[in-house]
Amino acid sequence: MNDADTLAKALAFLPHGPEFRFVDRLTALEPGVRGEGEYTVRGDEPFLRGHFPGDPMMPGVLLVEAAAQLAGIVAQSDPNHAPMPGLKLTALRGVKILGTARPGETICLRAELKARLGNLVHATATAMVGGNIVLQTEVTLAGGA
């Protein structure tokens, strides 16, 4: 499902305020299975003032957050499972930060759910910039029952 309404509704599952959203738009979604999204580093984000002055770049930990947010959108859009209240990142495995993004660059995110067990969701995710992988990770998310 990739129509604009479906993608817009799926983005609404992201509980974060606009100051802490690292998925601007979804480009593909197979609800409950996998998704693709993008975040463009605008250059005016407050964290860039200190990371690093004169040489701003997206912090690696925020690349991980972007990947977890996309995995959460995929999980919450699953038509076979009710959305979980309070879904949060609870574990990371195999995190490899291989690069970064700078102002004006778009981060292309991919997430695929690998398993669900009760209120736990396990997913793999990657982030790419300019065709180069900048992040590979596995994330575990947990929500209320």
Backbone angles phi and psi of 117, in degrees to 5: -145, 105
**From CA 5, how far away is CA 108, in angstroms rounded?**
20
The count of C-alpha atoms lying within 13 angstroms of the C-alpha of 55, restricted to the half-sphere facing its C-beta, is 2
51 is catalytic: yes
Kindly name the residue from 16, 51, 81, 122 that is annotated as catalytic.
Answer: 51
Which tokens in the block code for residue 29?
């979604």
**From CA 63, how far away is CA 85, in angstroms rounded?**
23
Catalytically annotated residues = 51
